[in-house]
A and B are shown apart, each in its own frame.
Chain A
Amino acid sequence: EDQVTQSPEALRLQEGESSSLNCSYTVSGLRGLFWYRQDPGKGPEFLFTLYSAGEEKEKERLKATLTKKESFLHITAPKPEDSATYLCAVRPGGGADGLTFGKGTHLIIQP
């Protein structure tokens, strides 16, 4: 069974304090690992897709990396507006196209 585990469940940082969020996955044949951001009362907002180990993608203060077992979302010098829940999801091999999500990391950036 495909599984996605995110850690920590919650993280509180000071503005400017860099850190990383972890996403560990077990999947039969990865066809994509996805990072989404979700603000309270809203739907998940797409951030990145990674397809193969060693791949990296960046957007503003965020950088996502991928290994064969896990992905990291690095946040550099975060600002209060980066506060959100960050969700990781995988698309397994085979024919299924639905995503399997982790439960997310709730990130709070204090000014």
Chain B
Amino acid sequence: DAGVIQSPRHEVTEMGQEVTLRCKPISGHNSLFWYRQTMMRGLELLIYFNNNVPIDDSGMPEDRFSAKMPNASFSTLKIQPSEPRDSAVYFCASSLGSDDTQYFGPGTRLTVL
């Protein structure tokens, strides 16, 4: 049974470029979460969706970040324009219901030069 799938696994880009991270949740899961992990701040929630609807985006750093979930099997996190301080590992997690156990993907390591 496939777990959460994220792509790309690694992304290196230059400051000012647009970056799109992708996530496919576990089939049948109705909730999807985006987290960011840095050495300084640890794992932080950015945004989460229930049944494809954004519920809480209070963790999104600023307007340069946006997330969408056009259907139950796909979500994107976009950064435009990217900045060096956005360098981090971005994780996607999904759960059956919003208050069930969250299962994490392998992450996307983003480096902005």
Interface size on A, residues (CB 8 A): 23
Minimum CB–CB distance from A24 to chain B (whole Å) comes to 15
A interface majority secondary structure: loop
Q: Does B14 touch A at the CB level, under 8 Å?
A: no
| A97→B91 contact, CB < 8 A | no
| A43→B56 contact, CB < 8 A | no
Chain B residues within 8 Å of A87, by CB? 43
| B31→A46 contact, CB < 8 A | no
**A interface residue numbers (CB < 8 A to B):** 31-32, 34, 36, 41-46, 49, 87, 89, 91, 96-104
**B interface residue numbers (CB < 8 A to A):** 4, 31, 33, 42-45, 48, 50, 55-56, 59, 91, 93, 98-99, 101-107
28 contacts between A and B (CB under 8 A): A32-B99, A36-B104, A41-B106, A42-B106, A42-B107, A43-B91, A43-B93, A43-B106, A43-B107, A44-B43, A44-B91, A44-B104, A46-B104, A49-B101, A87-B43, A97-B48, A97-B56, A97-B98, A97-B99, A98-B48, A98-B56, A98-B59, A99-B43, A99-B45, A100-B45, A101-B44, A102-B42, A103-B42
- Pick the 10 closest A-B CB pairs, nearest first: A43-B104, A98-B45, A97-B98, A101-B43, A103-B42, A44-B104, A43-B106, A43-B107, A43-B105, A97-B99
